Each structure stands twice: as C-alpha cells, then as structure tokens.
Structure 1
Amino acid sequence: MGLSIEHTGTVLVTNRTNLIYFYSKRSMDILLSALGILLTLPLMIIVGIVIKLESKGPIFYTQERVGRFGRRFNIIKFRSMVTDAEKDGAQWAQKNDSRITKVGKFIRKTRLDEIPQFFNVLKGEMSLIGPRPERPLFTEKFEQEIPGFARRLDVKPGLTGWAQVNGGYEITPKEKLDLDLIYIEKSSMLLDIRILLMTIKVVFTGEGAR
C-alpha cells in the first residue's frame, strides 16, 4: 500500500505582505504565460513539425504530476522520448538517456520541451516559479526515503525554480529538496524575478540539461 501524499499545507497567507505577494505572483503568472503562448506559438508549431518528422507518436506528452497540497494534474510537454520509453515501468531520466530522440535532446537542452507548460500556468495548476512537480510514484518514494520531501507541496509547483537554476537535472532528490525549501522560506517577487533572469541564461547555455 503506497504512502498517502495528500497534504494540507503549512504555507498560508497570514499578513498583508504575503497577500500582496500572493496576488502579484498570480497576476505575473497569468500575464507572462499568456504572453509566452502568443510569442512562442510559431516556435511551438515548428517544434511540433520536427518532432513528428523524426519519429512516430504524438507531438505532446502528458503525465500526471503532484501539485500544491497533493492535488494531481496532467503536465503538458513536447515529447522528447521514443513512444515506448516506459514500457518497463516508470524510470528516472538519466544523463545521455538512450530513450531520448535527437530532436528531444535539443529541446531538452534548450528547455523548449517545457514551453507547453505555459498552459498549465495559465490554468492555475502551476506557477512560473516554484519547485518542479514530481510524479506521484516518485513523490511517494522520495517522501519515504527523505522525510519532509512533501513540504515541497506547500507551494504551487513551477515551470522553473531555484533548484533548476542552481543544479538542474544533475542534483539528487535531497539536494533538490534543500534548494526548494530555501525558495519556500525566502520566496519574494524579487527572488522570482532573479530566478526568471537566471532561467533565461540556462535556456541559452543549456546548463543542467539531461
């Protein structure tokens, strides 16, 4: 029987400063995700075409993830792996993973595979900035191995985050938790803007790609 990952949350809007940040963050999410969809639409069409030309299968890939307070939702990404990538069960992606297609390697390196998540942000399932959402299976596994891992569910998951710009895919779940907790404890609009700027650097340099 799997560990329940339902989470009541401990991060609450308790004062005026937090209230302003909460609504400012959501306003930024709506504005920038809508703008991001409009600006990247031609690019999304091109990426979709090259994915389809290289290999059989759908252009988009949806996968169940765990959001704030344990709520589940389907994350949207461009498909970067072969269609039967998990025929042997769920696997943690590795560096130089043989399941990744040639196009998939490029869009992962440049983070283009994440662009469709603007729709998740617009719907309110994610934020632009926050801990990356994990799959239910891995959330349960890491919570058993690393007590307190579910504290990441105190805030809305993000398209990018402090752990992503400071370690990328190479860090361990424990290191990811430590960085995510730093973000949760010190979250502010200035920190969010800093992470956005650092993310732009990651996109252009391909740092931390897997």
Structure 2
Amino acid sequence: MYSKYLKPSLDYSLAGLSLLVVSPLFLVITVLLIINNRGSAFFIQKRPGKDGKIFHIIKFKTMNDKKCENGILLSDYERLTLVGKAVRKTSLDEIPQLINVLRGEMSLVGPRPLLPEYLDLYNEEQRKRHIVKPGITGWAQVNGRNALSWEEKFKFDVEYVQSCSPRLDAKILLITIQKVVHRHGVNANNYMTMEAFKGDAA
C-alpha cells in the first residue's frame, strides 16, 4: 500500500518543495558549471529504473571533457573541475535528480540506479533491487556507499526492497541529511568512481 500509493505522492510533493527551496542555489551552480566546464552544466546518462526500464538520469556535471593528445578522455581526477569538486564534495551534484523524481522515474529513497550494462550480470537475488524505483539516496548509501563491496551494496538494496516503509524512508532521509551536513560517509574517496561491477563470476 505504502510503496504503490503513498510513497509516490510523498515523493512528488517533497521533490517539488525541495526544488523550489533550492532553486536559487540550483541557478547559481548551473551558471558556475557552464563557465567552469566551458559547456554544459548537466550530466545526463541512461540508467535502469523500476523493472529495468531505462531512463535518463540528470546530475550536475562535475567533470570537463578534456582529452589527451590521442583523443582519449583524461582520468576522472584530471577532469574534475574546481567547482565540480566543491559540488560533489557537498553532494549538491545530486540536486537535478529531483527532476527525475517529479517525472516519476525515481524516488527520494531507493536503491541507487546503476549502469544498464550491469542488468545482465545480476543474479536472481540482486535483480530484486529493480522491483522498486531507484532513489537519490538509499539504505546502502547511508551504510557506507562506496566503502561497501558490491555484494554488501546489493544486500542492503534487497533488504530495503523487502522492508520499505515510511519509517525506514524517514530514517534514511534523516541520516542522509546528517551525513551531507557533516560530509561523512556519503562521497567517494578522492572523488573517484567505484570499480565496475563484473558479476558473480568476477
């Protein structure tokens, strides 16, 4: 009952209110990133949502598109801009995903949407993470995020799907706010991307 009816209504209401409150900050960050990136302020990428349906996730673009002399993109560390570093460190790069929530593609709380190429690598248990909409934050994020192994992440994701409730969502949101404010346990170390998932056979 909660997941099907009340949760979507709460998501839409809270996302709309949040976007309204942060709209001045949203505008400032957008302008700064356009200048700093010398181009787009947004990073848009395909991600699987509920039932594996593909949607386009929206985030602030924290890295430029600089390439080496061979035309290959430089490392994440080398492409991370000064403004992008500050935005990612404070988790403000996630703000545009409120638009995904308003579109009905995401929830405020749920398993984080990963890459489409991982879909064929999940086992039956791991695939349960797609029973619900992906979230801006989730049970795995407040329990370690990139410090967790893939196995641990998926365990938390499935645990959330099986235990989804207003109380759990409220708990995750409150912990997320605390971690963001104190800048603890939410961002990846050294602002780097976690190692790719290679499936159980890896």
TM tier relative to shorter chain: 0.7 to 0.9
Structure 2 residue identity aligned to 1:108: R
1:135 aligns with 2:133: no
Please report how far the alpha carbon of residue 170 of structure 1 lies from its aligned counterpart in structure 2 after TM superposition: 2.4
Q: Does the 8 Å CA contact 2:126/2:158 hold for their aligned counterparts? A: no
Match runs of 1:95-134 below 5 Å? 97-134=77-114
Pairwise CA RMSD:
2.0
User: Which residue matches 1:209?
Assistant: 187
Structure with the greater relative contact order (CA < 8 A, sep ≥ 6): 1 or 2?
1
1:75 aligns with 2:57: yes
Question: Would the alpha carbon gap of residues 104 and 153 (structure 1) be closer, same or farther in structure 2, given more than 3 Å must change?
Answer: same
CA distance in 2, matches of 1:187, 1:147: 19
CA distance in 2, matches of 1:24, 1:159: 18
SS in 1 for 2:133: coil
CA distance in 2, matches of 1:187, 1:54: 40
Which has the larger displacement, 146-155 or 75-84?
146-155
CA distance in 1, matches of 2:142, 2:158: 14
Structure 2 residue identity aligned to 1:190: R
User: Which residue matches 1:189?
Assistant: 166
Unpaired runs of at least 5, structure 1: 1-18
Question: Would the alpha carbon gap of residues 21 and 154 (structure 1) be closer, same or farther in structure 2, given more than 3 Å must change?
Answer: closer
User: Which residue matches 1:12?
Assistant: none
Structure 2 residue identity aligned to 1:67: G
Runs ≥4 in structure 1, deviation > 3 angstroms?
Answer: 138-141
Q: Does the 8 Å CA contact 2:2/2:165 hold for their aligned counterparts? A: no
Of residues 55, 65, 68, the one that matches 2:37 is 55
Unpaired runs of at least 5, structure 2: 189-202
Please report how far the alpha carbon of residue 172 of structure 1 lies from its aligned counterpart in structure 2 after TM superposition: 2.1
SS in 2 for 1:118: helix
User: Which residue matches 2:200?
Assistant: none
CA distance in 2, matches of 1:193, 1:51: 32
Q: Does the 8 Å CA contact 1:117/1:159 hold for their aligned counterparts? A: yes
CA distance in 2, matches of 1:55, 1:126: 27
Of residues 132, 155, 162, the one that matches 2:132 is 155
Q: Does the 8 Å CA contact 2:49/2:113 hold for their aligned counterparts? A: yes
1:179 aligns with 2:161: no
1:42 aligns with 2:24: yes
SS in 1 for 2:108: strand
